[in-house]
Structure 1
Amino acid sequence: MTDISEAPAAPPPERRGNKDIAAAPNFDLLAGVSLRVSVEVGSTSMTLSELLTLSEGSVIELDRAATDLLDIYANGTLIAKGEIVSVEGRYGIKVAEVVAPERSLAGLERRG
């Protein structure tokens, strides 16, 4: 084959799902970018006077049940949900579900 017209046609590009993003050609450009990843166990609202009455052993009730999945954020944007695990005496988080990109990028779940 010396002529390009004789070369077999390339297969059509595959549709990549969100799980194959690491295989995308431009991923290497971003692979080294650092992100701040945080996990939100829950939240609550309280007045300043309630905050000032807290002492060692005080319990703060959060807005989430103990069985609910925790929110995982990257730079303040919700990216996944998971559950707490213990790994060699340290806490970790096991990803249970990845949030749909249109939901996380829409800014509806963005935290500051």
Structure 2
Amino acid sequence: MRTMMSDGESKPNTPNAPANGSHEPSIDTILRIPVNMQVVLGSATMPVANLMKLGRGQVVALDHRVGEPVDIVVNGRIIARGEVVVVDDDSSRFGVSLTEIVGPAGSER
């Protein structure tokens, strides 16, 4: 949808545009955007037939070994690697200790 201006030009309607005319969101707004973070212990590939046979108590072997770093993924992109730890103040919960930050295109920091 477009709005006609007094000089005959038209501009697009932006329903949530700030009143001060600025179209740039503030950094605070951006920093409050939630992201999904996952810690990936590993993965496995199997035919659907094998998947259908899985039952309670069966173990699926993953492609990562014990002691190998786990991938820390944010919105589908690996951003870091780390070690699985037990949370100090709640021994019933796991956490992850960052050991490596992965930069753009897989570079390490």
TM-score in same-fold range (> 0.5): yes
Alignment TM-score, normalising by the size of structure 2: 0.65
Q: Secondary structure at the match of 1:50?
A: helix
Consecutive unaligned residues of structure 1, counting only runs of 5 or more, are: 1-25, 105-112
Q: How far apart are the structure 1 equivalents of 2:71 and 2:44?
A: 15
| CA apart distance, 1:39 | 1.1
How much is the aligned-residue C-alpha RMSD, in angstroms? Answer: 1.7
Structure 2 unaligned blocks of 5 or more? 1-25
Aligned residues: 79
More helix by share: 1
TM-score by length of 1: 0.64
Q: Which has the higher strand share?
A: 2
Q: Percent identity?
A: 34
Between the aligned partners of 1:42 and 1:96, the Cα distance in structure 2 is: 17
**C-alpha deviations, 1:34-57, integer Å up to 9, x for none?**
100011110111011111111111
- Tell me the amino acid that sits aligned with residue 78 of structure 1: I
**Greater length-normalized contact order (CA 8 Å, ≥ 6 residues apart):** 1
